Amino acid sequence: MSSGNYLQFLDADDILPPEKIARQLAALMDAPEGAVAICPWSFLHDNGCIDPPDPRAHWRSYDTGLALLLDLWLLGGLFPTHTWLVPRALALESGQWNTDLAADQDGEYFGRILVRAGPALFCADTSVQYRHPPEGAVSRDKSRRACESRMQAFETVAERILDVQDDRTARRACLSRIRKTAYALRDFEDMVAQAAAWERRLSVVDLSPSLPPVARLLIGLLGIRRGLAARSLLKS
């Protein structure tokens, strides 16, 4: 129903500062076609406390949205929904939200956006507040349906990445992402097997920095299935 040239998303429990959109619009004013804007974010707790910003390596501008996406997947980062300001034309080209997904709807949507985007401009002069996910939030859902959705979201975006850029950089990012996904849904053996098939397809040797240190070493050396099994043995 919107009619503006840019789209600002905002979940009901998150907060935008008054100047956020104006400052991102100013950054986009002279940017190339298809540019998107992002900004820093902080956790907001229900008691009103706000964590200080936690800068990451990907808190910077990128020449292309795809380059940002590859870093997010490699390093395990995220930008909440309301950090973005997206050109309407780019959103129309990329397709609507997949409302059939039970989890990672935003990751799948903004992944498709970034594959097609021009520059990604990091606006450090504003910041948003992201409500720390409570129990029952979509991001904490560990049901089978939610895990299947996370796998579907990965596969949709990974296929688009590799259609555009099929090199070691892209494959390392996809490997890191599928390993992190498998680590999160490790209770479902069939989905771990699905992740292992992706690992074989990508054919990259890497330790995948998005994983916790022990899992990073075990999975990097042994692969997803044997690495998770070894981790389970060590824990027991």
What is the DSSP pairing of strand 36-38 with strand 120-122? Answer: parallel
**pLDDT of 34:** 96
Q: Report the amino acid identity of residue 170.
A: A
Q: How far apart are CA 149 and CA 172, in angstroms?
A: 22
**pLDDT of 61:** 98
**Which tokens in the block code for residue 87?**
């050109």
Helices within the chain (DSSP H only): 20-28, 65-75, 88-94, 105-116, 144-164, 168-184, 189-202, 213-222, 224-235
**pLDDT of 48:** 85
**pLDDT of 137:** 57
**pLDDT of 145:** 93
Write down the residue that tokens 């504003």 correspond to: 126
**Which tokens in the block code for residue 205?**
């040797």
3-class state of residue 207 by DSSP: coil
127 backbone dihedrals φ, ψ, rounded to 5°: -160, 155
pLDDT by position in tens, the chain (length 236):
889 999 999 998 899 999 999 999 999 999 999 999 999 999 998 888 999 888 889 999 999 999 999 999 999 999 999 999 999 999 999 999 999 999 999 999 999 999 999 999 999 999 999 988 766 555 567 789 999 999 999 999 999 999 999 999 999 999 999 999 999 999 999 999 999 999 999 999 999 899 999 999 999 999 999 999 999 898 88
**Which tokens in the block code for residue 220?**
């990097």
Residue spans per domain, the chain: 6-131, 142-235
3-class state of residue 206 by DSSP: coil
Contact 82, 8 (CB under 8 A): yes
Contact 199, 179 (CB under 8 A): yes
3-class state of residue 165 by DSSP: coil
